[in-house]
Amino acid sequence: MKQKSILIIVILVGLIVFWLAGRDLRHEQGRIIGAARRIFMVAADKKPVAVASSLKTNYDLRILDREIHYPFGPQSAVRPIPMPETALLPSLPPLPKTISSPYPWESIENVYLNNARHLSAGKYQEPDKPWILQLGELCPGVTDTPTSGHYKIWYRVSRDGGKTSGELKPLVQQGKPYNPVHPLDGIWADKNPACTSAFGPIVRATNGEIMVPITSSVLGKDGLPENPLNAFFFSYAGVLIGRWVEDGSDLTWNYSRVGIDARLSTRGLYEPTIVELKRKGEFMMVARGSNDRGIYKYEAFPGGRFKYTCTGVRDLKSRVAGRKWISFSKDYCRTWSEPKHLTYSDGTEFFSPSACSTLIRSRKNDRIYWIGNICPENPDGNNPRYPLIIGKIDEKSCGLIKASVLVLDTLNPEHDTPRMELSNFLVYEDPQTGNICVELYRLDYTQAEAYTESWQKLARCWYLIGVPAS
């Protein structure tokens, strides 16, 4: 009788453990609309391989919850991102969509200052103060299209937590040579563009300065934006260095940039993301590169408008390796080292498409994480933009720790085409739990209309990531 009682107790304990494990697995799987509850990885032989939904690693990064919607599936109501109000950057009063141009060559400028509330929304709030900085762009055309014309960086400041704001004005580097037409070293508003990095969070340095990652171009000897290989464009990665004035009503600005040989990255460096390392004043930058093979004709028009026309494609054999590029500063972003590949921490190379990425130092455990795309073979320009991963950066080698890499999502051949993209994501961090949330539109460019604003009608996907305590 005693043995039977023990057996019953063991069975009951086993059932309870099994139920709890199942509950945890269901929670981790989250909700996936229009597909089986699996995540697919693309292996080196290009065959899709299903991997476990729990997706745990040796470094204890884990998917706690997720919401996945497929472009060609039903666009049902999406659950809101599981982030508290304290994780969201404050909103500022709305701005008009257009303003009368202060420049003599334009009558109207479109205003693109993002009032979103994620970490890379071009906003920053000073700790323990109600001072808020917001940056964005003005341009004569539609942003992120060949009609956009040259971007000009403008900004405004709030001193009351976002209830009101000061005037919107052009960002101008301090010093006599600079003015709204020539705002930064090497930048002219009517000749070559500069814009904030849409995916690199603004960083407060240990010396109190505000570091804003940006993308810009420089002028060649012909007076046009430099473009050695006649690519779609050629850019430099840079950082705006801001310092608050005493009453928080404005900032003074400086600027630095780093470039690369076009033979290594055909479109230069752009969309940088930065983080300060353990030693004060030392910064790491990760920048987007490209091995795009397109050949373009560039035409400039008055007032900074321009037009690109594709005239051909280079031979596939001429394609360089698709990588992310890293550079380092030891002087609070004033100067930068020669760029080199972002690799794994053991020195092993990996491929990455021409796409955004984000560095974030966890407020929970003080570790640096990198979010971006890696791929098993050399990409062709922007593609493929999957898998989407998060992994820990080793601060000694400044490489990605391979064992820490967690796949958030990738191609699902049941619902995606090879032109599907897991990119242009937004990042949030919960200050209480330390959880990180990545949000994106799952785009598929086999649909021509995906290049228009129709993609904004898609339901958004998100991935909630738990990070370890230490």
Segment 296-324, tens digit of pLDDT:
988 777 666 777 788 999 887 678 999 99
* Assigned domain for 166 exists: yes
Report strand pairing: 31-33 vs 62-69.
parallel
The per-residue pLDDT for 105 is 78
Which amino acid type is present at position 9? I
Q: How far apart are CA 410 and CA 461, in angstroms?
A: 12
Nearest one of 107, 143, 98, 142 to 122, comparing CA atoms = 143
In the β-sheet with 283-288, what is the strand arrangement from edge to edge? 270-276, 283-288, 324-329, 340-341
* Assigned domain for 134 exists: yes
- The residue assigned the tokens 């391979």 is 402
Q: How far apart are CA 84 and CA 431, in angstroms?
A: 9
* Assigned domain for 398 exists: no
Q: How far apart are CA 40 and CA 251, in angstroms?
A: 47
pLDDT at 277 over 70: yes
Q: Give the pLDDT band (50/70/90) at residue 454.
A: low
- Under 8 Å between Cβ of 300 and 188: no
* Assigned domain for 373 exists: no
**pTM here?**
0.88
Number of structural domains the chain divides into: 1
* Assigned domain for 392 exists: no
- Average pLDDT of the segment spanning 457-465: 89
- Under 8 Å between Cβ of 263 and 290: no
* Assigned domain for 2 exists: no
Q: How far is the CA of 275 from the CAs of 148, 329, 395, 429, 461, in angstroms?
A: 30, 10, 11, 15, 26
- Average pLDDT of the segment spanning 227-251: 96
CA angle 88, 93, 98 (to 5 degrees): 115
- The residue assigned the tokens 């000694």 is 396
- The residue assigned the tokens 């987007």 is 288
* Assigned domain for 456 exists: no
Q: Is 215 helix (H, G, I), strand (E, B) or coil?
A: strand
How much is the CA Rg of the chain, to the nearest whole Å? 23
The per-residue pLDDT for 242 is 98
Looking at per-residue pLDDT, the higher value among 382 and 307 belongs to 382
451 contacts: CB under 8 Å, gap ≥ 6: 445
DSSP run (H or E) holding 16: helix 2-29
- Under 8 Å between Cβ of 404 and 94: no
Q: Which residues, in sequence order, are bridge partners of residue 22?
A: none
- Under 8 Å between Cβ of 427 and 408: no
| Full domain range(s) for residue 299 | 88-341
Q: How far is C-alpha 308 from the geometric centre of its chain's CA atoms?
A: 25
pLDDT at 57 over 50: no
* Assigned domain for 441 exists: no
- Under 8 Å between Cβ of 406 and 55: yes
Q: What is the pLDDT of residues 186-237, one digit of tens each?
A: 999 888 889 998 899 999 999 999 999 999 999 988 888 899 999 988 999 9
Q: How far apart are CA 119 and CA 252, in angstroms?
A: 22
pLDDT at 279 over 70: yes
